[in-house]
Amino acid sequence: MQDNYRPKPGDRIFRPRRIKRDRLRRVLGIPALFSAGYGNVGSSIYYALGIVAVVALGATPIALGIAGVLFIFTALTYAEGTAMLPEAGGSASFARHGFNDMAGFVAGWALMLSYIVTISISAYTIPPYLGFFFEPFKASPILGTATSIGIVFFLMMINVIGIKETSWVNISAAILDITTQVALVVIGFILLFDPVVLFNRMIDNWPSTENLVFGIALASIAYTGIETMSQMAEETRKPERKVPRALVMMIVAVLVIFAGISLVSLSAMTPQELATEWARDPVAGIAANIPITLISEVLKPLIAILAGSILLIATNAGLIGISRLAFSLGTHKLQPSALSKVHSRFKTPYISIILFSLIAIIILIPGFFGGQVFENMGALYAFGSLLAFMFAHASILVMRARKPDMERPFKLGWNIRIFGWELPITAIIGLISTFGIWILILITQPYSRSVGLIWMVVGLIVYCIYRWKSRLPLTHLPKEPEEGGL
């Protein structure tokens, strides 16, 4: 009998080699996904409203509304892509599967830039809001920047320990923040909203067409929260179902709150006031202009606390996203594998967490000297994120054509047939729109153009050298032998 077989002297016994792979823990559910994504998207209202008003003036609600439509298209694209490919990487993973390795690297490297700036700009915006309690936080560039650097360092430490320990912070702060934002919108519509005043302020301060389009471009910087959810798919239980649901929840919450706050803001103050005095803390400007003193005095400190907390979530979400992105790129040999190394105890990509936290801190250092640090970070943020979204939309379209039979747990509707390919209209419009806005930023913003292009060129050089030294082709990775093969 086979069960009684014993090897004879001289027999060679083959034992399949077990390949040990680093894995991230699947511990997250819909609340953790939603709160992390909302930490980026929802936090942008605390500064994007003022940035958009600087260029769009009276058309600020229109710019945010148009950007909101593009936000829907982008979120739907990520819902299909993440459900189909539930792995860390986001647009980089989509591009690698849809095109090739080099496309995956370009998308990932652009996204990495936007994540680094997300960490920096979110941390940089926290001290001005906390200035309500201690004026030097807002008035002193040295103290404000030092505080921002301390925040990044603190989040770096707790993310090295593990994502599960930070998720409850995200969930609690997101619930409290959404509640306060909805309350502010309701109170604002009751006490401040005046359709006639709003209409006149919009018409009397209508911007040029170029400024309106640029305002839409600035409003689109909030989209990176979508990427954060996608990056966390590899740590999510049943990601093919939970990630699309969390994305849909975020679409509804963000659009309602963005629309309400933008309309209330122009009823509370003129576009000029919004773009100058309250540019860096526009939500605080709404609270300060509420006519009932008692309500205003309650809301002002509450907004300061909540703005600080949700911006803290955004800083943390950016750190989570970039560490998971680095994990994915390293795992698939798109960058040095050391960046994908997972800690033996905490099961987190600790090397990438530490490295990119330090880069975010370096970006914050010019804040000690004042200047246009805030504006420059905003433009650079848009450069990287929009380029990544272009790859996401394009990859979904290409995979529809090249891999029509691939399983899609969440499949976009509203399709048209081109050459027999079933292509989603939302992804087509999203691709054309993000490409046009990115080109506008490239042409009109010298800082983001120079820094962004240098970042991309340096990345490509590093990529080519790494692949050459590893004896790998630039575009495709050789097929690995099956586990246990000779």
> Does the residue 474 lie in any domain?
no
State the pLDDT at residue 367.
85
Q: How far apart are CA 19 and CA 217, in angstroms?
A: 46
Q: If you count them, how many residues does the chain have?
A: 486
CB contact at 8 A, 124 and 373: yes
> Does the residue 475 lie in any domain?
no
> Does the residue 476 lie in any domain?
no
The ranges of the chain with pLDDT < 70 are: 1-32, 35-37, 39-40, 88, 162-171, 173, 222-225, 227-241, 346, 371, 477-486
Q: How far apart are CA 137 and CA 130, in angstroms?
A: 7
CB contact at 8 A, 171 and 309: no
Q: Report how many domains make up the chain.
A: 1
> Does the residue 438 lie in any domain?
yes
> Does the residue 350 lie in any domain?
yes
What amino acid is encoded at 263 in this protein? Answer: L
| Predicted confidence (pLDDT) per residue in 434-481, tens digit | 998 899 888 888 888 998 999 999 999 989 999 998 888 888 765 544
| Predicted confidence (pLDDT) per residue in 255-265, tens digit | 788 888 888 88
Q: How far apart are CA 452 and CA 446, in angstroms?
A: 10
> Does the residue 4 lie in any domain?
no
Q: Which domain holds residue 236?
A: 30-469
State the pLDDT at residue 274.
87
Q: How far apart are CA 261 and CA 254, in angstroms?
A: 11
> Does the residue 404 lie in any domain?
yes
| Predicted confidence (pLDDT) per residue in 198-230, tens digit | 999 999 999 988 888 888 887 877 666 676 666
Q: Is 189 helix (H, G, I), strand (E, B) or coil?
A: helix
| Predicted confidence (pLDDT) per residue in 97-143, tens digit | 889 899 999 999 998 898 888 889 889 889 888 988 888 988 888 99
Q: For the chain, how many helices (H) and strands (E)?
A: 19, 2
> Does the residue 478 lie in any domain?
no
pTM of the model: 0.80
State the pLDDT at residue 479.
55
| CATH number of the domain encompassing residue 177 | 1.20.1740.10
- Crossing angle of the two packed helices 350-364 and 293-331, in degrees rounded to 10: 130
State the pLDDT at residue 224.
61
